[in-house]
Structure 1
Amino acid sequence: MRVRTGAHRKDPAPMRTTLTTLACALALGATLLTPAEAAAPARTGAGSSGACGRGELCLWPGTGYGGRRTVHELSGTDIESCVPLSGRAGALSLANRTGRPVTTYQSAECGETGEFETYPGGGTWLPESPYKVRAFKIWER
C-alpha cells in the first residue's frame, strides 16, 4: 500500500529512467565523435609522411617526420648497446617497428641524467619527441 503525502507528487521512476537513458546516449555519442588521435601522443599506425618498414627504427631530424629519414635495422645494430646518432641534428620524430622496445636518450652517451623514454616495438610513431634524441638502445625484449 502506497501513502501519498501530497497530490502534486508523482512517481519519479519514469523520469529517472528517461534521464539514465539520455545520459547513456550522450556518453556513447561523445565516445563515437572523439578522434582516436586525441587520446595518445604516440600513435600505432603509419603517418602519411612517417613511412617506416617492418623491422626498422626510423628517425627524422624535424618534427612531424620532417627532413631526411635515417633507418636502423637489427642486422646492423648491437642489441642493448648505446648507438649515438651521427651529426649534430639528432632526431625530433621517430617510428619504432623493430619488434623490440627502443629507449631514446637526450644524452649522446645514453646517460640517464638527461631525458630518456622507452617505446614499444610493435609499431610506435612519435611525430614530436619531447627532447632532441641523440642516442638510442634496442632491447632484447
Structure 2
Amino acid sequence: MRTTFLAAALAATALVPATAPSSGAAPAGHHGATGQQHARSAPQAAPAGLAPCGSGQLCLWAKPDFKGAVQAHELSTVDIESCVPLPAGSSAQALVNRTGRPVTTYQSAECAETGEFETYPGGGTWVPRSPYTVRAFKIWES
C-alpha cells in the first residue's frame, strides 16, 4: 500500500500562515524520518484559516480548497477497514482527517488499488487539494 504521510503533513503545514505561533513540535502527521505515525496522536484543532472539521470526523468537500458540499463521517457510522463508497454521483476533492486513525482515500469507488490512492494520518490532516477525485475511503484500525 502506498502511503504519503510526509506529503500530507507538508500539504497541511504549507497553508499555515507564517505568523502562526510555533510550539516547536513536529507538524501533524510527521514523526521523524520514518514517516510513521504514532498509534494515538493527539487530535488538533484546525490551523488558522483552514476548514473546520469536528474531532473524530473525516470531512470531505466536493470542491478543492474546502468548498462546495461537505460530507462528515464518524467511526460510529463506518465499518473499520471496509471500503466506504461516497454516495452515487458525489465525489470529493478536499478532505480533513480528524478520526484519530489513518484513512486511505481512493480514486476508485470500489477501493481498487489499480487507480490512485493515498493514506493520511488521523491526528489532524488538512488536504485542500486531493491529487485525484476521491470516490471511496477506508478508515484503518491504526
Query: Scaled by the length of structure 2, what TM-score is found?
Result: 0.68
Partner of 1:67: 68
Deviation at 1:49, TM superposition (A): 5.2
- Residue 41, structure 1, aligned to residue 42, structure 2: no
**Which residue pairs with 1:21 in the alignment?**
none
Residue number in structure 1 paired with 2:40: none
Match in the other structure for 1:121 = 122
TM-score, with structure 1 as normaliser: 0.69
Percentage identity across aligned positions? Answer: 64
Q: For residue 80 of structure 2, what is the aligned residue in structure 1?
A: 79
Per-residue CA distance 1:68-123 (angstroms, 9 max, x = gap) = 11000000000000000013230000000000000000000000000000000000
Name the one with the larger strand percent.
2
Cα distance in 2 for partners of 1:87, 1:42 equals 28
2:88 and 2:63 map into 1 onto residues whose CA distance is 14
Residue of structure 2 equivalent to 1:29: none
Q: Which runs of 5+ in 2 are unaligned?
A: 1-8, 14-27, 29-44
Per-residue CA shift, 1:22-66, capped at 9, x if unaligned? xxxxxxxxxxxxxxxxx8213446253511010000000000000
The alignment partner of 1:68 has SS state of strand
Paired letter, 1:51: P
Give the structure 2 partner of residue 5 of structure 1: none
Q: 1:92 to 1:69 in 2, by over 3 A?
A: same
Would you tell me which structure has more helix in proportion to its own residues?
1
**Structure 1 portions without partners, runs of 5+:** 1-38
* Aligned residue number for residue 58 of structure 1: 59
Q: Matched residues in 2 for 1:119 and 1:74: separation?
A: 16
